[in-house]
Amino acid sequence: MKDVVVAGGTTGMGREIALHYLRAGARVTVIGSTPSRGEDLLAAARELPGTAVFLHADLLSVAENHRVIKELESRYDKLDVLVLAAMVPFVRRRETVDGLEGTFVLYYLSRFILSFGLTELLERGENPIIANLGATGITKGAVNWDDLQFARKYSTVKATISGGRANDLLAVHYLQNHPDGRTKYFGIQPPYTKSGTNHLPQPLRALAKVSAALFAKPAAESVRDTLEVLEAQPAERLILRAVGRPVDPGLKTFDPRAARRLYELTKELI
C-alpha cells in the first residue's frame, strides 16, 4: 500500500492527485490551510477505497512546516510520494510570522523544508518520489538575489517569477545534497488550470474567472500527464516536465552553481 502526502491537496491539481491515490487504495494525508476544504476532501474520500487524513496547517510558518514533519513521522514508517502543490499569489506583499515574504515561503521555502525534512521517510519507500508543481521549463526572469524577500519593492509578478526560479533550483540542490539517495525529484509545469480565484481581490477575481472559463483546463484533465509520470517512474532521478513534455536539465534555470548558492542562503534563513 502506498503512503502519500499532498501539501496543498484540497483544491486544484493537488486535490485530483490525492483522489487518484485514494481511488488506488493508498493512505493519503492532505495538508491544507482551510478546514472546510479539508472536510470536503474527506467527504469525497469516504466513497473511495483509500484512507484519507486532513492535516490543517499554515505552511507560511516555518514552525508549522516542522510540526507537519513531526506529525507525519509519527504517522508513517515510510513515504512513497510527496506532492508539493501549495501556492497562493499575493497581490500585496504578505509578511509571514517569521518576517519572510509569503510567495517566497509557499513557492520555495516550505517546499525546501518538507523535501529535506521528509527524506528519511521517503528513502524507506518502495519507489520514492517528490512531485513539485511549479513553472518548470519557463526561463523568464531569475531569483531576486539582491532582495529575496522583496522588502524594498514588491510586485506580484516579479515575486512569483523569483519564487518559480528558486523552486527550479530546489530540484537541483536537493539532489546535490542527496547524491546517494533513491528519492527522485519531479519538477512540473502543469497546463493552465482552473484552481479557484477566491484568494484574489476584486476586480482581479472577476477577470481571473473569465480567463479561467475561456482558457483553463479542469484540474482532472490537467493532472493526467503528471499522474502518468508518477506511475511510470522514469529512470532518471531529476525528472522535468512542462505541460507533459520533457525539459532540458541543462537550461540556465537549473544552474548547479546557482542551486548551491540558494541552498547556502536558505540554511542561513532557517
pLDDT in tens, 129-146: 999 999 999 999 999 999
**Does residue 20 come out as left (phi exceeding 0), alpha (psi in the -120 to 50 range) or beta?**
alpha
What total number of domains does the chain contain? Answer: 1
What pLDDT does residue 161 have? 97
Of 140, 139, 239, which is closest to residue 188 (Cα–Cα)? 239
pTM of the model: 0.92
What pLDDT does residue 212 have? 38
Could you read off the pLDDT of 54-72 as tens digits, one per residue? 999 999 999 999 999 999 9
Burial bucket for residue 32 (CB in 10 Å: 0-12, 13-18, 19+): buried
Distant-in-sequence, close-in-space partners of 151: CB < 8 Å, separation ≥ 6: 101
User: Stretch 6-20: mean pLDDT, rounded?
Assistant: 97
Say yes or no to pLDDT of 97 above 70. yes
Q: 88 pLDDT band (50/70/90 cuts)?
A: confident
How many CA within 13 A on the CB side of residue 211?
A: 11
Angstrom distances, CA of residue 99 to CA of 19, 89, 163: 35, 17, 16
Distant-in-sequence, close-in-space partners of 202: CB < 8 Å, separation ≥ 6: none
Q: Which domain holds residue 234?
A: 3-269
Say yes or no to pLDDT of 206 above 60. no
Task: Specify the CATH number for the domain of residue 8.
Answer: 3.40.50.720
